Amino acid sequence: MLTSLELFFSQYYTIKAMIFNRRETFIFEPHSILMVNMLFITLCRFRKKPTKEMMAEAQRLFEEAAKEGVKILGIYWVLGRYDVVLVSECPDEKTHMKMAIRFGDIVSTESLVAVRSEEAVKLLT
């Protein structure tokens, strides 16, 4: 279902945005709208000892996720409580959840929504 949302930028600008059944974040500037993806940090633990076949399957799943708008910013193997830290941008939380569920046979996940520090600092004023 398509809904229309009218937003006003100061007294001079009217911006019409179409929201397609998902949460979208917009940054408003005169004469432009920029969609911003949500940032996620995913903490992963392997369910069993990793193999080359598991890594090939993970690569296939990443490629599948990319077709749905997921952008992988970094994958890090780490020491400690978790085995892998994944940093990604997704159009919304549902897309991220779908990706995490697909990886369920390979890893258990804990996902965090992140906000860039410069955006968080703006919230302080």
Tens of pLDDT, residue by residue over 21-69, are 345 554 545 544 455 689 999 999 999 999 999 999 999 999 999 999 9
pLDDT at residue 36, as a whole number: 65
Write the DSSP string, 42-62.
EEEEESS---HHHHHHHHHHH
Which single residue is written with the structure tokens 């830290």? 85
Write the CATH number for 92: 3.30.70.1060
Q: Which residue has the higher pLDDT, 27 or 19?
A: 27
Instruction: Classify residue 12 as exposed, middle or buried by CB count within 10 Å of its CB (0-12, 13-18, 19+).
Output: exposed
Mean pLDDT, range 66-81, rounded to an integer: 96
pLDDT at residue 37, as a whole number: 83
Ranges assigned E (strand) in 1-125: 3-9, 13-19, 25-29, 32-36, 38-46, 71-77, 84-90, 107-114
Q: Which residue has the higher pLDDT, 69 or 3?
A: 69
Q: Are residues 78 and 110 in the same domain?
A: yes
Q: Which residue range(s) make up the domain with 9?
A: 3-36
- The torsion angles phi and psi of 104, rounded to 5 degrees, stand at -55, -30
Q: Are residues 81 and 25 in the same domain?
A: no
pLDDT at residue 8 is higher than 90: no
Q: Are residues 64 and 105 in the same domain?
A: yes
Q: Are residues 25 and 15 in the same domain?
A: yes
Percent residues over pLDDT 90 in the chain: 64
Do the beta carbons of residue 42 and residue 110 sit within 8 Å? Answer: yes
Which single residue is written with the structure tokens 């076949």? 53
What is the total count of domains within the chain? 2
Question: The sheet that has 71-77: what strands, in order across it?
Answer: 71-77, 84-90, 38-46, 107-114
pLDDT at residue 15 is higher than 80: no
- How many angstroms separate the CA atoms of 69 and 5, rounded? 23
